[in-house]
Amino acid sequence: MAGALLDTHALYWLAHEPSRLSGDAVLLIGRSQAGGSLFVSPISAWELALAARKKNNAPLVGVTSLPKWFDETCSSLGARVAVIDLSIALAAAEVVEKTGHKDPGDCYLMATARVLNVPLITRDAAILAIASRGYLKAHPC
- Coil, strand or helix at 137: coil
Give the per-residue pLDDT at 56. 66
CB atoms inside a 10 Å sphere around CB 71: 14
CA angle 75, 27, 89 (to 5 degrees): 55
CA distance 44 to 118: 17
Burial class of 18 by CB neighbour count within 10 A (0 to 12, 13 to 18, 19+)? exposed
Domain count, the chain: 1
pLDDT of residue 49: 85
The per-residue pLDDT for range 10-69, each reduced to its tens digit, is: 999 999 999 999 999 999 999 999 999 999 999 999 998 888 776 666 556 665 688 898
- Residue 4's pLDDT band, with cuts at 50, 70 and 90, is very high
- Which residue type sits at 13? W
Candidates 126, 130, 127, 89; CA nearest to 111 is 89
pTM above 0.85, yes or no: yes
Per-residue pLDDT reduced to its tens digit, 106-124: 999 999 999 999 999 999 9
Q: What is the pLDDT of residue 66?
A: 83
Domain that holds residue 125: 4-140
15: CATH: 3.40.50.1010
Question: Could you give the percent of the chain with pLDDT greater than 70?
Answer: 91
